[in-house]
Amino acid sequence: MLLGVERLVDLVGPQQAGLTAMTPPEVTEAVRQGDVAALGRTEGHFAATARDGQTVRLARTLGIPLRYFVAKMFHGPFLVVSDRIDSLFAWCQAEKIGWQFDPLYTRMVPAHYLIEIDQIGCPDPAPRCHRFFDPPIAQGPADVEAAGAAYVRAALEALTRWLETVPEGEPVALAFSGGVDSASVLLLARHALRQMGRDPNGVRAFTLDLGGGRDAAQAQAVVRELGLEGQWEVVAAPAEQVNLEDAIGVIEDYHPLDVECAAVALCLLRGIRERYPSLKYLLDGDGGDENLKDYPLEDSDLTLSSVLRNPLLYQEGWGVDAIKHSLTYSGGLSRSYVRTYAPARHYGFSAFSPYTDRAAVAAALALPFERVLEGRVERLYALKADVVRAGVRAVTGIDMPTPPKRRFQDGAGGDTYRQWRVSKAWCRQVFLRQWEGRLREAWDPQGERLSGNDLSRPAPAAR
């Protein structure tokens, strides 16, 4: 291995959304030094990579995915970093080592961790994981009114920080189902803009209707009750436009619920982009379900006990040391946030949800769920609406409507949704088939391929 050769290739550089307390270069320096305390003092989202000698460090929050791949060349292991699998492969192809690549060899950095990888090679050592987000659990009030006020204030502060980065006069779109999370984001965004001295009508809500869906009727009822029907649009699209295979390619994942959600999101964002070609900024309510554990237990192998005894289960999965932890993907929303991030990037939007911000997550984790629920599953299912409604009322003075929960794809698709629900096995087969096609060129025996023992090739550029 050649000493002094830069063997970190960062294809995306530092990224941020609503970040405070540190600038992106300062975050990168904290990552280089392994300063988890400094990273923990930031608010908002970031993703950054840096090298310190033979050690590469990477860190990210929920809202910005980050991946890496260890490529082998004569100069030693090259750590290639990006937010997407396909861009990692494209780099390998450009360097004539695409034959080394497998999408399942890439690794997703788990949210809320600083990851350290030593570039010593043969064999590559396991990464070391250091938490920089470790909020107190169940230390807040059991009173729903007080808990709701704390939770929604944290979301409002995160939303305000992000809106301050949006140039004044720039419109902001909101993916709007009329459910608890998107309705609260609409009200909080208008409240924040008003406090900033800006026009609250700068936020416009968009609802997808694939024909027969219930979200359009629900959304209309909500905006009508709030007196905001003039700030709302329906994006109608034929159900045939839902393309699950395209969605798998965009999100580079195969969890069926995330694939379905992304496929519907692509329809909505395509419609917004066609109507408003220059619109850049996008809000949504992603993360609200995870924060307040608003998922039907009967749809999984989870129990109320397993959810309550693993406070960050929905945000992070079972954890980096758990037997269920995937090597290719992280867990929970840390993994599945690509269903929001990737479609938004695909259509050129800069997206943000205040409920993925660490301050909002921490405020939710402060709620003593066990004391509030008293072992009642039905209380869990009603809790999010009660908490958010109380919080919005405390912060804005508005008593918002709280319609029943339904998944985005179900609300937009209605009866058609039942026709395109798919299994994980099918999604995984599509994912692998897509990559089989891409890798065929890299494995072409007639193509140009370089061996890791080729001494004639100079080391690749670091960036």
Q: Are residues 170 and 285 in the same domain?
A: yes
Q: What is the pLDDT of residue 459?
A: 60
Q: Where a domain ends, among 109, 133, 157? A: 133
Q: Are residues 311 and 182 in the same domain?
A: yes
Q: What is the pLDDT of residue 2?
A: 46
Q: Are residues 92 and 182 in the same domain?
A: no
Q: Where a domain ends, among 133, 165, 190? A: 133
Q: Where are the alpha helices (DSSP H) in 99-255?
A: 144-163, 180-195, 215-226, 244-251
Domain total of the chain: 2
Q: Are residues 255 and 359 in the same domain?
A: yes
User: Does 434 fall in a domain?
Assistant: no
Residues ≥6 apart with Cβ < 8 Å to 245: 430, 434
Kind and range of the H or E run holding 118:
strand 113-118
Q: How many CB atoms are closer than 10 A to CB 102?
A: 13
User: Does 24 fall in a domain?
Assistant: yes
User: Does 415 fall in a domain?
Assistant: yes
CATH no. for residue 92? 3.60.20.10
Q: Are residues 101 and 189 in the same domain?
A: no
Q: Are residues 413 and 286 in the same domain?
A: yes
User: Does 455 fall in a domain?
Assistant: no
CATH no. for residue 184? 3.40.50.620
Q: Are residues 236 and 374 in the same domain?
A: yes
Give the single-character DSSP code of 185.
Answer: H
User: Does 259 fall in a domain?
Assistant: yes
Q: How far apart are CA 382 and CA 437, in angstroms?
A: 46
Q: How far apart are CA 23 and CA 52, in angstroms?
A: 19
Q: What is the pLDDT of residue 331?
A: 94
Q: What is the pLDDT of residue 1?
A: 43
Q: How many CB atoms are closer than 10 A to CB 60?
A: 27
Q: Where a domain ends, among 99, 133, 167? A: 133
User: Does 454 fall in a domain?
Assistant: no
Specify the 3-state DSSP secondary structure of 457: coil
Q: Are residues 117 and 156 in the same domain?
A: no
Count of residues in the chain: 463
The residue range of the domain holding 91 is 8-133
User: Does 421 fall in a domain?
Assistant: yes
Q: What is the pLDDT of residue 169?
A: 94
Q: What is the pLDDT of residue 457?
A: 62
User: Does 44 fall in a domain?
Assistant: yes
Q: Are residues 270 and 213 in the same domain?
A: yes
Q: Are residues 76 and 103 in the same domain?
A: yes
The pLDDT profile of the chain, 463 residues, written as one tens digit per residue, is 445 446 899 999 999 999 998 999 999 999 999 999 999 999 999 999 999 998 999 999 999 999 999 998 776 788 999 999 999 999 999 988 999 999 999 999 999 999 999 987 777 788 999 999 999 999 999 999 999 999 999 999 999 999 999 999 999 999 999 999 999 999 999 999 999 999 999 999 999 999 877 888 999 999 999 999 999 999 999 988 999 999 999 999 999 999 999 999 999 999 999 999 999 999 999 999 999 999 988 878 889 999 999 999 999 999 898 887 788 999 999 999 999 999 999 999 999 999 999 999 999 999 999 999 999 999 999 999 999 999 999 999 999 999 877 555 655 656 666 666 789 999 999 999 999 989 998 887 766 666 655 655 666 665 5
pTM reported for the whole predicted model: 0.92
Measured in Å, how far apart are the chain's first and last C-alpha atoms?
Answer: 20
Q: Are residues 121 and 164 in the same domain?
A: no
Q: Are residues 119 and 165 in the same domain?
A: no
